[in-house]
A and B are shown apart, each in its own frame.
Chain A
Amino acid sequence: MSRRTVWWLVSGTLLASAFVVASMFVSGDRRILPAGAMTDAHHQLEISCETCHGTPDFADTAAAEKALNRSCLGCHEDELKAADDSHPRKTFRNPRMAAYWDRLDARLCTTCHVEHRPEITRVGAVTVAMDFCMACHAEGEQDVRVERPSHAGLTFDSCASSGCHNYHDNRALYEDFLVKHSHGAWLALTPMHALAARARAAGQSGATPLAPGDAVAPASALADPAVLEDWARSGHAAAGINCGACHAPAAGDASPDAVEAHWADTPAMSVCEDCHRTQARTFVRGRHGMRRHPRIAKPRDPHRALRELGLDGVLPETVMVWLEDPAVPERMAAGEARLPMRGDAAHRALDCGTCHMPHAVDVVRAAVEACTYCHDDEHSRAFFDSPHHALWLAERNGLAEPGTGVSCATCHMSKIERRGKIATNHNQNDNLRPNEKMIRTVCLDCHGLAFSLDALADTDLIRRNFSGRPTVHVESIDWAVRRAKAQRQKGGN
């Protein structure tokens, strides 16, 4: 091989390498670097390494793991507290638990949830084998089979997969709760979502409803009568909220001049957030709005380190783009989702107006049609043939009481009560994984616990959107009741 050939080869390689590195420098997009794709839960954050990797460059493993755990807790700590975590970190940080650290170090989230490992990522983003319970509960005083003969023949991979236990959230699965709700019929006598019923019965604010002629806006904005009609029928108009409240919040008063002076055709999401704080707070915790979560995508600040080195302001712009970690785009588009979505909705970016229609502010549409405008999986499509949908139509058409209908939002964006005020939880993931989390917040309003457990354990029934009866039976209630009975008898004797 001639010298010239070698020269061309080396030059070509260097040029190609430089191109790749430069493209990462300029765009800041380093998604070609990780060893594997991220989990469905976190893939929206893939562009911003610093969201999770918060340590300085080339920190030691212990520091890196600590930083990763801090990142996990930054978003999930409240959720774990609310779930009354069955295996809280503080329990395992006790030195008396040291014997368990080698088996399964429950002090670290990354023991069971490692990112960039698609091959070993299982349900719930778990990256250890699903029989991990045996690490601690197969021997000694923690052996679950000692006091529970019912568990004698069970394998450890069935602990979490059978609908009986979860590692973190067992609010609907603990023994006393099972016994307490063991007698419930499959359907309540008056099935109704109490909070939804209360919210819909609460009516309006008492303000004077506004008509299309009351709209205060620049002439150009009033040109479209359809927009005015939408607004006039909306909850906003009914509550006396005029155009300027959203389009010119800085106007101070509703005078036409002030509104025109501060008018913005497309109000920012922060305008919605000013009034709908609970909704906004919960929205950023779910997949729809997680890119706006306050703990996410803080770009790294290299200037401090550069100042210490005396290099601040010296490095070229492209290098600074690389050093300053890119921020995650504020909104997620439906096309980025990993669930099946409709092709024609791929461009839709998610903010308040995407589901609610900015002027109609239509909560009815947002409860079903807005969901299926994007979601195109079997479960979503089957909703329209389900008994839940029939109930929803009956309520919408005034044929049934408020709160008796079941929409997508009824289950996935359930109502929450905070300081006496009822609001919709916009974190649709709050009760989604594991699905037993939905039992207390939704299912038990209408159904018995045994039926709910069976239904949620029946994947085929879920696919059919609960058209039919469960063919799976979760035995945990039976066992809990038998054990309680046996204990009562033992106590009686």
Chain B
Amino acid sequence: MLTFTEEVLLLLGDEEGALLPVDKHAFDCALAGAALLDLAFAYRIDTDLQALVVTDSAPTGMPFLDRILARIASRADTVDAATWIRELSTDDAETVRKQALANLVQRGILERKEEPFLWVFRPVRYPTIDREAVHGIKLRIEEVLSDNIPDPRDVALMSLVDACQILPDLFPDRKLGEAAARIALLRKMDLIGREVAGTIANIQRTIVLAARAEAARFRKLRLILATLGGAAAAVTLLAPRVPLPDSYGPDLLEHLWFDGIWRQWSGYLILGLAVVGLAIAIVIKKRLVTRIARSHRWRLSHFVLGVGCVLVLFAHTGFRVGSDLNAALMGCFLAVLLSGALAEICTGAPSRLRAVGIARPARLRRSLMWLHVMAICPLPALLIVHILTAYRY
């Protein structure tokens, strides 16, 4: 029989091995709660409203559960289930997840797949092989939601799933609103399940509020940067080139725009900024590094780099668009910068865009993102020719 932890993991992953959209903290709490439920149903712990105590410290045979059991047993004071869920979600959730996934792979339910990307990143997915196993778990939850007398184990599982707020994802065709009263009633039947749900809800409330505040702050910063970058790119495209002083003497501007060494440095600086910006975008989009993909700061850095590119581009060209292949390179680069900036403005200020007559900012954003990606495509070829020509001639 599968443990709660394994069942929760199966339900939280889709068939391709990707996670359903669950907040990381909620996910970790669910795993910690699942581990406690496993211990409770194995008669190793008991809990009431005030305390969670060990009733039997004998190992369960599951290393990750025994580790948690040993930790609870070794604690001098007694704390309630909510405290344990918080602590375990912080310290042990990752270990629990890894070991539970390994168990599922060993049982032939999941498959471990490494997908190398750019020779550096090796993201791992766990696609489902045994779909019947997942189907069986879903059936049990559906059974709980019907009017039949539920099994306590299934009630506990349902409480966990409900706490993670993934019931609509699991049963997209079912009207869950009608079952809300029954779900609330069943949740009260299981103490650990109730504690897990309560804790997750509390944590989520706190996290959501903090996350929303942080997201709003970063969205505003991104919007400012995007507006700045977009305006600078538009100026670069439209402004007449900065004239050079027509007198002899050491001239910084002439060095900047006509001296090979200076142009080399400014050119490579733009290239570096652009490559790092692109790499960050890929890492975020492909979720290659979870910590980066979820960080507002890394997302913001993409825009900082974009603005940096426009500024260094000015140092490199002085608003000179060039001719032939250089003009094509400049055009593509400015298209990338402008479309990226405008797409972010569509994301960050949709109401303002509606006010100025753009009825569907989301659709406009999609088009701009298309342009953003398409304009990137010719850049490597144009850059290679640009650099080789500079050195050859």
Indicate which residue in A17, A31, A61, A117 contacts B324 across the interface (CB closer than 8 Å).
Answer: A31
Q: A17-B381, A33-B393, A119-B241 are in contact. Are A9 and B325 (CB under 8 A)?
A: no
- Cβ–Cβ contact A12 & B377, under 8 A: yes
Residues of A within 8 A of B391 (CB): 58
- Interface residue? B272 (CB, 8 A): no
Is A370 close to B, CB under 8 A? no
Is the CB of B260 closer than 8 A to any CB of chain A?
yes
B119 interfacial contact with A, CB 8 Å = no
- A34 pairs with B393, CB closer than 8 A: yes
What is the bound-complex CA distance between A119 and B374, given in angstroms?
32
Contact A119 B320 (CB under 8 A): yes
Q: A58-B391, A58-B392, A61-B260 given as contacts; is B325 within 8 A of A33 (CB)?
A: yes
Q: CB-CB < 8 A to A119: which residues of B?
A: 241, 244, 320
Chain A residues lying within 8 Å of B258, measured Cβ to Cβ, are: 114, 117, 120
A146 to chain B, nearest CB (A): 19
Measured in the bound complex, the distance between the Cα atoms of B248 and A104 in whole Å is 10
CB distance from A12 to the nearest CB of B (A): 7
Within residues 57 to 85 of chain A, which ones have a CB less than 8 A from any CB in chain B? 57-58, 61
**Contact pattern, B 360-393, Cβ under 8 Å of A = 1, otherwise 0:** 0000000001100110011001000100011111
Question: Do B385 and A33 touch across chains, with their CB atoms under 8 A apart?
Answer: yes
Query: For the complex, is B357 an interface residue (Cβ under 8 Å from A)?
Result: no
Q: A33-B389, A58-B392 are in contact. Are A9 and B373 (CB under 8 A)?
A: yes
> Pick the contact of A157 from B241, B247, B323, B373 — CB < 8 Å?
B247
Given A9-B373, A53-B393, A117-B258, do A35 and B326 touch, yes or no (CB 8 Å)? yes
The residue on B at minimum CB distance from A10 is B377
Question: With an 8 A cutoff between CB atoms, is B173 at the interface?
Answer: no
Residues in chain A near residue B374, CB distance under 8 A: 9
Given contacts A34-B389, A49-B393, contact A131 B247 (CB under 8 A): yes
Interface residue? A92 (CB, 8 A):
no
Q: Does B246 contact A (CB under 8 A)?
A: yes
Q: How far is the CB of A179 from chain B (nearest CB, A)?
A: 30
Q: Which residue of A lies closest to B370 (CB)?
A: A1
User: Which chain B residues numbered 33 to 77 have a C-beta less than 8 Å away from chain A?
Assistant: none
Chain B residues positioned under 8 Å from A128 (CB to CB): 248
Look across to chain B and name the residue whose beta carbon is closest to the beta carbon of A116.
Answer: B393
A354 at the interface (CB under 8 A from B): no
How many A residues touch the partner, as a band?
Answer: 35 or more
Is A123 among interface residues, defined by CB-CB distance under 8 A? Answer: no
Say how far B147's CB is from chain A's closest CB, in angstroms: 43
Residue among A33, A37, A49, A135 with max Cβ neighbours from chain B (10 Å): A33
Which residues of the other chain, A, contact B254 by a CB distance below 8 angstroms?
Answer: 120
Q: How far is the CB of A276 from chain B (nearest CB, A)?
A: 37
Distance of A401 Cα from B369 Cα, bound (Å) = 80
> Is A13 an interface residue, CB under 8 A from the partner?
yes
- Flag whether A416 is at the interface (Cβ < 8 A): no
Q: Say yes or no: A134 contacts B248, CB within 8 Å.
A: yes
CB neighbors of A among B229-253 (8 A) = 241, 244-249
Write the nearest CB–CB distance from A8 to chain B, whole angstroms: 10
Please, what's the 1-or-0 string for A4-38, where 1 marks a CB less than 8 Å from any CB in chain B? Answer: 00100110111011000000000000011111110
Q: Say yes or no: B378 contacts A13, CB within 8 Å.
A: yes
A156 to B325, CA, bound (A): 38
Q: Which applies to chain A's interface (DSSP): helix, strand, loop or mixed?
A: loop
Q: Are A129 and B245 in contact (CB under 8 A)?
A: yes
Chain B residues with CB below 8 A from A114, complex form: 258
User: CA–CA, A34 to B241, complex, Å?
Assistant: 19
Nearest-Cβ distance from residue A408 to partner chain B, whole angstroms: 34
Q: Give bound CA distance, A391 to B258, whole Å.
A: 50
Assess whether A130 is interfacial by the CB under 8 Å rule. Answer: yes
Q: B370 to chain A: which residues have CB within 8 Å?
A: 1
Verify if B322 is at the interface (C-beta below 8 Å from A). Answer: yes
Across-interface contacts of B373 in A (CB, < 8 A): 1, 6, 9
A130-B378 contact in complex given A53-B393, A119-B241, A120-B258, C-beta closer than 8 Å: no
Residues of A near B246 (CB, < 8 A) are 129-130, 157
Q: Are B248 and A129 in contact (CB under 8 A)?
A: yes
Q: Which residue of A lies closest to B261 (CB)?
A: A61
Interface residue A101 (Cβ < 8 Å from any Cβ of B):
no
- Bound: A34/B245 CA distance, A: 24
| A373 at the B interface (CB under 8 A) | no
- Contact assessment for A9 and B244 in the assembled complex, using a CB-CB cutoff below 8 Å: no
Given the complex of chains A and B, what is the CA–CA distance between A9 and B320 in angstroms?
A: 28
Contact of A135 with B324 at beta-carbon distance under 8 Å, contacts A34-B393, A120-B258 already known: no
How far, in angstroms, from A107 to B340 measured CA to CA in the complex?
49
**Option from A1, A37, A53, A135 in Cβ contact (under 8 Å) with B248:** A135
Known contacts being A13-B377, A119-B320, is A129 close to B247, with CB within 8 Å? yes
A132 at the interface (CB under 8 A from B): yes
Q: Is the CB of A13 within 8 A of B381?
A: yes
**A132, B374: Cα distance in complex, Å:** 47
- Check A57 against B392 for contact (C-beta < 8 Å): yes
**Which residues of B have CB within 8 Å of A32?**
324-325
Query: What distance in Å separates the Cβ of A431 from its nearest Cβ neighbour in chain B?
Result: 28
In the complex, which residues of chain A have a beta carbon less than 8 angstroms from the beta carbon of B377? 9-10, 12-13
Residues of chain A within 8 A (CB-CB) of B320 are: 119
Residues of A within 8 A of B245 (CB): 129
Chain B residues with CB under 8 A of A57: 392
* Residue among A1, A35, A37 having the largest count of chain B Cβ atoms under 10 Å: A35
Residue of A nearest to B263 (CB): A35
A450 to B247 Cα, complex, angstroms: 30
Q: Is the CB of A120 within 8 A of B389?
A: no
Q: How far is the CA of A128 from the CA of B244 in the complex (A)?
A: 11
CA distance A34 to B393 in the complex (A): 8
Q: Chain A nearest CB: distance from B235 CB in Å?
A: 19
How many whole Å from A266's CB to the nearest CB in chain B?
Answer: 36
In A116-150, the 8 Å CB interface with B consists of: 117, 119-120, 128-132, 134-135
| C-alpha gap A132/B248 in the complex (Å) | 5
Partner of B378, one of A16, A33, A37: A16
- Name the residue of chain A whose CB is nearest to the CB of B244: A120
Closest chain B CB from A338 CB (angstroms):
16
Cα A128 to Cα B377 in complex, Å, equals: 38
| CB-based contact A131/B393 at 8 Å | no
The answer, among B247, B248, B378, B389, for a CB contact under 8 Å with A17, is B378
CA distance A332 to B247 in the complex (A): 36
7 A-B pairs whose Cβ atoms sit less than 8 Å apart in the complex: A1-B369, A10-B377, A31-B324, A32-B325, A35-B390, A53-B393, A129-B245
- Residues of chain A whose beta carbon lies under 8 Å from any beta carbon of chain B: 1, 6, 9-10, 12-14, 16-17, 31-37, 49, 53, 57-58, 61, 104, 114, 117, 119-120, 128-132, 134-135, 156-157
6 nearest A-B pairs in the assembled complex, by CB-CB distance: A17-B381, A32-B324, A13-B377, A129-B248, A33-B389, A131-B248
4 additional contacts, CB 8 Å, given A34-B389, A130-B246?
A33-B324, A34-B393, A120-B258, A129-B245
